[in-house]
Chain A
């Protein structure tokens, strides 16, 4: 069994428990063991691009370093955590000033210089497990189901830094859908933003953005839409005004692998 360091993030411990639980049970079913670092902190939800911001990058570095110390790659599943942690790692690798200020503050036993490899859970499915392998382990295929993958913004961009997939014509979630037996639906808004945190102060804008995403998917005949981000899920469900069902991709994964029931116990 291969072991990875696993960073759930704050929302997966509170409002997005499902995203986390299904991810864990599914990993186990796939022969992957996920180990949480002892004292992780919330990553902050948004990466700060400003070069003179150091404090806001520290919690992500602590997480990256705990994976380095245990000598394992780091897995994240929330799109936002994944974005913050990968961008921070990129910074440490490419901006000497950020790296030296961060290390000067943290005083780790050994400086952190970007050694950790970061995978989004979907990347783990593609690059470690392999979608062919995954397909062979599926016991409840989503036969005949038309499933729309919602990437949103943070899973793919900035593409130079996240290096996950083609940012304008991605395929990782569609390949995942095929692996669990479903039929992927391609639609125009799949990699446009749902409105994100603007829901806090501008419900109209959040409704406009998430409504556009949902109607674009519905127009292409989707039966359901999947996401990796708790905030996307919220906006698409609560702000879009659409009835199209929205699920975390890990819920479909758990169902396909036949571990959904035990995840709910």
Chain B
């Protein structure tokens, strides 16, 4: 277990993972549930255990839509999306670990795609 990474994730997210009662409501409401290998309640639990690297290496960190459904609907106010974000940041902040390359962007564009999508992807995928 990487203690330093766990502390980094806890600090950046500001989440108290010990508040979670494992009801699974966050995962039940998550629009990306089917696309995720690890689901929001598992993020919370795995961070508690200090199993951060498994999450950092999973595609699940790029599947969160930041829709804040889990934040609003958690009965214990755990705010799982903040944990997902902190783990993703720990991953993309690593040298050479950006999830998107700006050179790929031209091929992603079409005539109607709003700039907002690209700007948001930059926020999410690149450091």
Contacts and interface: CB of A to CB of B under 8 A. Distances in A.
A51 B112 CA distance: 34
A108 to B, nearest CB: 24
B67 A45 contact: no
Interface residues of B, number: 39
Interface stretch (A23-31, A64-72, A132-140, A198-206): A198-206
B94 to A, nearest CB: 15
B115 interface: yes
Interface in A55-100: 56, 78, 80
Contacts of B65: 153, 193, 195-198
B85 interface: yes
A153 B68 contact: yes
- A contacts with B: majority SS: loop
A57 to B, nearest CB: 11
A237 interface: yes
A159 interface: yes
Contacts of B32: 198, 205
Listed from nearest, the 7 A-B pairs whose CB atoms lie closest are A45-B120, A153-B67, A157-B68, A193-B67, A45-B119, A230-B114, A197-B120
14 contacts: A44-B123, A45-B123, A46-B66, A50-B12, A51-B11, A52-B12, A157-B71, A158-B72, A193-B65, A196-B120, A197-B117, A198-B32, A200-B117, A201-B108
Given A156-B72, A198-B32, A201-B121, 10 more contacts: A45-B122, A47-B66, A50-B85, A153-B68, A192-B67, A192-B69, A196-B65, A196-B67, A199-B117, A205-B63
Interface of A: 9-11, 14-16, 42, 44-53, 56, 78, 80, 153-154, 156-159, 167, 192-193, 195-202, 205, 208-209, 230-231, 233-234, 237-238
